[in-house]
Copies of this chain bind each other. A is one copy, B any other.
Amino acid sequence: MDHKLSDRKKKVLRAVVDEYISSPIPVSSSEIREKYFNDISSATIRVELSALEEMGYLVQPHTSAGRVPSSIAYKFYVENFIGKKPLKKKDIRTIDNFFDKKFNEIEDIVKTSAKVISEITNYTSVIVINNINNVLIKEIKIVGLEPNSALVIIITDSGIIKDNIISLKRNTNSSFIRDANVLINKIFAGYTVGELKTRSQMVEMELSDFRELLDCVIEILKNYSNKSAKNVYVEGGNKMLNYPGATLEQAKSALNVLEDKLLLGNLLDDKTDNIEFSFKIGKDETCGIDRCAIMTAKYTINGKEIGQAGVIGPERMDYGKVMGVLSYLSKSINSIAACEIIDKCDETSIFGEEDGKEK
């Protein structure tokens, strides 16, 4: 399907997509002629349209209707005609407002980002955390809770990962907790998550007393770098219902995909290394969400690549804007996170072990 398109064909193709995006009715030869050409007639355009249809870029709903872009057309359109559009002042203000507060946790940043993307683009947004391998573990804190459970708090140079209560068979009394803190930090602190595998092997022979705890901590870290439903954040799912022309049936199936976090995670996950944006369109590329497209960008926190942030919207979405938002936001997240951390850690690595001593 890689015919070379003449300049005029390109212009016609672009006209069709532009027109269809601005209003979703099949576009006719005369419409194109009026708005985009004054040197050739509609009959000539019809010839071009016919050729483009032949090549698979356009589709005709029925014999006497105008043309509608195919998935291939959108793909070509995005790759050749569209770049990130600079954001409106208003939108920048919105984003900055959202981020004008303290963030303590990665999760918090991610959730806020998802919200802001959905708010501004008016599409559904999805963010996946799936790559914290080169994040640096600054400290791990174990706090004893009930007799058999403890809270594990992981502090990294990209923020705090918390939310992990673990249950142990053994009693988590204060002396155990104290020793555990020392040991665990000896093992993990100062290393990146990526080094985890080798590290954990290194300590294979350590006191079996802490075996169970160690396994828990490793499990937690693994969970954060692996695909797991917990690491997928969706916002504005019901905006999926706003696309005109959608039937209830389509909406339902789309929402079902959104529900399946694991599937979604895979959908966003993108192998291609170098490009800024990844773009998926067509039923087979979007896990069966009909007439939709997915645009994602990698994002970083404190300079480390953490995952992907993206938008699921109708094929005829405002690609330029979406790209603009994703791009701006990825910068925003990064600088915010960086500020936070620099701001806070001017006296890094001073935290003594102070907890687990009452009862």
Contact = CB atoms under 8 A, between A and B. Distances in A.
A174 B247 CA distance: 59
Interface stretch (A86-94, A197-205, A349-357): A349-357
Given A105-B165, A143-B143, A241-B248, 9 more contacts: A141-B145, A146-B155, A146-B344, A147-B350, A148-B344, A149-B344, A173-B350, A238-B252, A241-B251
A256 interface: yes
Interface stretch (A37-45, A175-183, A310-318): A175-183
A139 B358 CA distance: 10
Contact of A358 (B181, B237, B355, B357): B181
A345 B242 CA distance: 51
B354 A174 contact: yes
Interface string A91-119: 00000000000101100000000000000
Interface string A168-193: 00000110011001100100000000
Contacts of A350: 147, 173
A238 B139 CA distance: 41
A177 B355 contact: yes
Given A185-B358, A345-B146, A354-B144, A102 B167 contact: yes
10 contacts: A104-B149, A144-B354, A144-B355, A145-B351, A174-B351, A174-B354, A177-B355, A181-B358, A238-B252, A238-B256
A352 B147 CA distance: 11
Interface in A239-262: 241-242, 246-248, 251-252, 255-256, 258-259
Interface of A: 102, 104-105, 139, 141, 143-149, 151, 153, 155, 160, 162-163, 165, 167, 173-174, 177-178, 181-182, 185, 237-238, 241-242, 246-248, 251-252, 255-256, 258-259, 344-347, 350-355, 357-358
Contacts of A353: 174
A160 B167 CA distance: 13
Contacts of A344: 146-149
Contacts of A255: 238, 241
A151 B149 contact: no
B167 A104 contact: yes
A182 B358 contact: yes
Contacts of A102: 167
Contacts of A247: 248
A143 B173 CA distance: 17
* 9 shortest interchain CB distances as A-B pairs: A174-B354, A104-B165, A238-B255, A146-B344, A174-B352, A241-B252, A102-B167, A248-B248, A177-B354
Nearest to A347: B147
Contacts of A185: 358
A160 B181 CA distance: 21
Nearest to A163: B163
Contacts of A248: 241, 246-248, 251
Contacts of A148: 344
Contacts of A242: 252
A204 to B, nearest CB: 25
Interface centre among A145, A153, A352 (most CB of B within 10 A): A145
